[in-house]
Chain A
Amino acid sequence: QFSDSAGYVGFANLPNQVHRKSVKKGFEFTLMVVGESGLGKSTLINSLFLTDLYPERYIPGAAEKIERTVQIEASTVEIEERGVKLPDVRCLSFSPLPYHSFKTIIHYIDNQFERYLHDESGLNRRHIIDNRVHCCFYFISPFGHGLKPLDVEFMKALHGKVNIVPVIAKADTLTLKERERLKRRVLDEISEHGIRIYQLPDADSDEDEEFKEQTRVLKASFTSSLSFIPFAVIGSNQLIEVKGKKIRGRLYPWGVVEVENPEHNDFLKLRTMLVTHMQDLQEVTQDLHYENFRSERLKRTGKPVEEEVVDKDRILQQKEAELRRMQEMIAQMQAQMRMKPGDD
């Protein structure tokens, strides 16, 4: 493995060292799915991770639906394969009704940022848990002609806070032509409204020879990633026998829709994208969304938000506010520490 050829030092091995460490450490990943109730979010999550996270849910009647404006279901899935521990994936499902609760979702996301900021500023940073939302699947109804006004509002409110991946739900209600038309429409509207969705990192062309055959298909789909977003998906909790195999699908009189058949829908591509981009999704959350939150948060001194005015007094005020916050935190911790005798 280590070549002792002249001139070879060996630090090209570093990526392996980095990988080994992060594999051992593992990391936390939170996936949020947002969309109208009844679009198949829970079913899709079950299909994604091949588990029944939500066995036989109770579907509320119309009258009760008005009362329950936000349903939050959270569950954790541990994925392990070949001794490689992938992140703990936590799935949150939100079903908002119009106008009431996207603020609630925003608050939730902000709260996680706030908590992380607090932990990051603390004294003991060894075991910070990352509960921030790393990815949001936004479910678009297949029954309309594109984005609804609610969809636009929602995505615009969320795109500065979380990586948005638009998904067309229940894609089996559409023919392939209708699907293409809807996708194009949705993409146009997304760009029209200036909505920023998650961009897949570009695959470099000079890596072709390095990728193995089994990932060739994967790469091909990424070089033209735009043609697959939004992902048109189908989910199913049922196993159906097709050609002697049991597969996840939906049985209709006119045929069987197979969840994992790339010719029937984009489910596999969505799943592949999620699993192989978990790290990138987490990084973009950290480097972009969280940093934006953090700098906005630290700038706020309680006064109404003004335009960016650069002057020394303002900087001084900010630093003093920061100092005060830190001092409060320290005072709290010191008080706690004083209660423990003999520690240092």
Chain B
Amino acid sequence: PHAGPVESKNEAAMSELVPEPRQKPVVPMKPMGINASLLGYIGIDTIIEQMRKKTMKTGFDFNIMVVGQSGLGKSTLVNTLFKSQVSRKSSGWNREEKIPKTVEIKAIGHVIEEGGVKMKLTVIDTPGFGDQINNENCWEPIEKYINEQYEKFLKEEVNIARKKRIPDTRVHCCLYFISPTGHSLRPLDLEFMKHLSKVVNIIPVIAKADTMTLEEKTEFKQRVRKELEVNGIEFYPQKEFDEDLEDKTENDKIRQESMPFAVVGSDKEYQVNGKRVLGRKTPWGIIEVENLNHCEFALLRDFVIRTHLQDLKEVTHNIHYETYRAKRLNDNGGLPPMTVETEESHESNL
């Protein structure tokens, strides 16, 4: 009897009754004592455990790019970071291997596992960068590559039948190698970082830091920091993305004191004080890579891998990728243009 009008009245009533922006609690919670028991029995630990399980099951992607002149120890450093041969050293001693005429982008993927957690690590090398006589605009192929990964992700995201886990080839972290001249940054360094810090997380590192004494190192770092600031270059962790006071305090210390990390890499082990350590052997002593008194490799490793890995990915996704996406939507008035590629990949989804 009342089918029609009652239903539409309810729909109207519905939109009135349900509050739209989520409101703060209507009823104040009971004192903490009672609520603590709610979860005390269950244990917050199980929730943490569930998350751990999930992360372990799905594994994760991490894409790290290394940029710098040849011979600065990029591959060695990456191998040291991940304690495996994930980057093939360009054999500078082999006369057959020439320096490429333009900047090449080489991405190599490895799956490494630790403590049940699987990581698909992709190391993106950029041979040829900074090695030419004329290095004008040699940052362009790199920026193009980075944007291409954003484009790939965007295309997958707007698909009708999209994958549950979109494969992530976006560059999460770009290590920029500064030559340890001890003087100042080169114009190329500034050029590169100015352009690329807008599209990717840049972590500047001072390579082959064992060529500097402690004083030289401190002075050089200060000068580099100053130059970066003067040129308005925001390296990771960027000030504007500090989420809260805790982050800001932690990151301020890193930005103002530790960075840029002065590092030494090595894949050779030596015996020091009864322990086997990674290092470089010289007539005047053994430089221990993981010894904080010798260099800042351990700081870099802890920073990138042990504390800020997830944040690097999140800033890439929430900031850099979103910036790209917004620009894309605005420029094209809509979706990425239809290409034959899109149709083919769409059909293969069906």
Chain A residues within 8 Å of B, Cβ to Cβ: 2, 4, 6-19, 21-22, 24, 28, 49-53, 55, 69-70, 72, 74-82, 84, 86, 88, 90, 92, 99-101, 103-104, 107-108, 123-126, 129, 131, 204, 207, 210-212, 214-215, 218, 268, 271-272, 275-280, 287, 291, 294-295, 298-299, 308, 310, 312, 315-316, 318-319, 322-324, 326-327, 330, 334
User: Which of B19, B47, B318 lies at the interface centre, i.e. has the most chain A CB atoms within 10 A of its CB?
Assistant: B47
List 5 A-B residue pairs with CB atoms under 8 Å apart, sorted by A's residue number.
A11-B114, A17-B309, A108-B14, A291-B164, A327-B334
Q: B39 within 8 Å of A by Cβ?
A: yes
- Judge whether B52 and A19 touch: CB under 8 Å: yes
- Judge whether A310 and B25 touch: CB under 8 Å: no
Minimum distance in angstroms from A55 CB to a CB of chain B: 8
Q: Which residues of A contact B96 (CB under 8 A)?
A: none
Alpha-carbon distance between A92 and B330 when the two chains are bound, in angstroms: 38
Q: Which residues of A contact B14 (CB under 8 A)?
A: 70, 72, 104, 107-108
Q: Which residues of B contact A90 (CB under 8 A)?
A: 22
Tell me whether A10 and B301 are in contact in the complex, defined as CB-CB below 8 angstroms, given that A2-B306, A212-B43 are known contacts.
Answer: yes
10 A-B pairs with least C-beta separation: A12-B115, A17-B310, A326-B334, A15-B52, A10-B306, A15-B55, A323-B334, A12-B114, A81-B39, A298-B160
Alpha-carbon distance between A252 and B116 when the two chains are bound, in angstroms: 53
Q: Which residues of A contact B286 (CB under 8 A)?
A: none
- Judge whether A81 and B21 touch: CB under 8 Å: no
Tell me whether A103 and B7 are in contact in the complex, defined as CB-CB below 8 angstroms, given that A14-B60, A81-B44, A327-B334 are known contacts.
Answer: yes
- Judge whether B6 and A19 touch: CB under 8 Å: no
With both beta carbons as reference points, the residue of chain B lying nearest to A89 in the complex is identified as B25
- Judge whether B60 and A100 touch: CB under 8 Å: no
- Judge whether A100 and B7 touch: CB under 8 Å: yes
- Judge whether A12 and B117 touch: CB under 8 Å: yes
Q: B230 within 8 Å of A by Cβ?
A: no
- Judge whether B51 and A11 touch: CB under 8 Å: no
Q: Which of B26-34, B124-132, B194-202, B211-219 contacts A (4 or more CB under 8 A)?
A: B26-34
Q: B42 within 8 Å of A by Cβ?
A: yes
Alpha-carbon distance between A99 and B4 when the two chains are bound, in angstroms: 11
- Judge whether B162 and A291 touch: CB under 8 Å: yes
Q: Which residues of B contact A298 (CB under 8 A)?
A: 160
Q: Knowing that A14-B60, A104-B10 touch, tell me 16 more A-B residue pairs with CB under 8 angstroms.
A: A10-B301, A10-B302, A13-B309, A14-B55, A14-B119, A15-B51, A19-B51, A19-B52, A70-B10, A74-B19, A76-B25, A79-B38, A86-B47, A207-B53, A287-B164, A310-B350
- Judge whether A107 and B160 touch: CB under 8 Å: no
Tell me whether A327 and B333 are in contact in the complex, defined as CB-CB below 8 angstroms, given that A19-B48, A279-B51, A318-B160 are known contacts.
Answer: yes
- Considering the complex, which residues of chain B in the window 291-320 have a beta carbon less than 8 Å from any beta carbon of chain A? 301-302, 305-311, 314, 318
Minimum distance in angstroms from A19 CB to a CB of chain B: 5
With both beta carbons as reference points, the residue of chain B lying nearest to A331 in the complex is identified as B333
Q: B346 within 8 Å of A by Cβ?
A: yes
Q: B343 within 8 Å of A by Cβ?
A: yes
Name A215's contact: one of B3, B46, B329 (CB within 8 Å): B46
Name A50's contact: one of B30, B81, B82 (CB within 8 Å): B30
Alpha-carbon distance between A57 and B223 when the two chains are bound, in angstroms: 70
- Judge whether B47 and A276 touch: CB under 8 Å: yes
Q: Which residues of A contact B244 (CB under 8 A)?
A: 24
Q: Which residues of B contact A308 (CB under 8 A)?
A: 350
Q: B133 within 8 Å of A by Cβ?
A: no
- Judge whether B117 and A70 touch: CB under 8 Å: no
Q: Which residues of B contact A215 (CB under 8 A)?
A: 42-43, 45-46, 49
Alpha-carbon distance between A2 and B10 when the two chains are bound, in angstroms: 59
- Judge whether A326 and B333 touch: CB under 8 Å: yes
Name B83's contact: one of A7, A28, A103, A276 (CB within 8 Å): A7
- Judge whether A9 and B346 touch: CB under 8 Å: no
Name B51's contact: one of A18, A53, A79, A100 (CB within 8 Å): A18
Q: Which residues of A contact B333 (CB under 8 A)?
A: 326-327, 330
Q: B282 within 8 Å of A by Cβ?
A: no
Minimum distance in angstroms from B11 CB to a CB of chain A: 6
Alpha-carbon distance between A101 and B8 when the two chains are bound, in angstroms: 10
Q: Which residues of A contact B252 (CB under 8 A)?
A: none
- Judge whether B329 and A129 touch: CB under 8 Å: no
User: Which of A15, A210, A271, A324 lies at the interface centre, i.e. has the most chain B CB atoms within 10 A of its CB?
Assistant: A15
- Judge whether A52 and B27 touch: CB under 8 Å: yes
User: Which of B29, B39, B333 lies at the interface centre, i.e. has the most chain A CB atoms within 10 A of its CB?
Assistant: B39
- Judge whether A72 and B18 touch: CB under 8 Å: yes
Name A315's contact: one of B25, B81, B343 (CB within 8 Å): B343
Tell me whether A15 and B117 are in contact in the complex, defined as CB-CB below 8 angstroms, given that A107-B11, A330-B333 are known contacts.
Answer: yes
Q: B243 within 8 Å of A by Cβ?
A: yes
Q: B134 within 8 Å of A by Cβ?
A: no
Name A11's contact: one of B19, B119, B318 (CB within 8 Å): B119
Q: Which residues of A contact B19 (CB under 8 A)?
A: 74
Tell me whether A316 and B338 are in contact in the complex, defined as CB-CB below 8 angstroms, given that A107-B11, A327-B333 are known contacts.
Answer: yes
Q: Which residues of B contact A22 (CB under 8 A)?
A: 51
With both beta carbons as reference points, the residue of chain B lying nearest to A104 in the complex is identified as B10
- Judge whether A17 and B160 touch: CB under 8 Å: no
With both beta carbons as reference points, the residue of chain B lying nearest to A13 in the complex is identified as B306
Tell me whether A21 and B47 are in contact in the complex, defined as CB-CB below 8 angstroms, given that A72-B14, A295-B161 are known contacts.
Answer: no
- Judge whether A6 and B306 touch: CB under 8 Å: no
Tell me whether A10 and B305 are in contact in the complex, defined as CB-CB below 8 angstroms, given that A81-B39, A214-B43 are known contacts.
Answer: yes
Q: Which residues of A contact B112 (CB under 8 A)?
A: 9
Minimum distance in angstroms from A63 CB to a CB of chain B: 14
Minimum distance in angstroms from B347 CB to a CB of chain A: 7
Minimum distance in angstroms from B44 CB to a CB of chain A: 5
Q: Which residues of A contact B338 (CB under 8 A)?
A: 316, 319
Minimum distance in angstroms from B38 CB to a CB of chain A: 6
- Judge whether A210 and B310 touch: CB under 8 Å: no
Tell me whether A11 and B326 are in contact in the complex, defined as CB-CB below 8 angstroms, given that A21-B314, A72-B17 are known contacts.
Answer: no
- Judge whether A9 and B335 touch: CB under 8 Å: no
- Judge whether B46 and A125 touch: CB under 8 Å: no
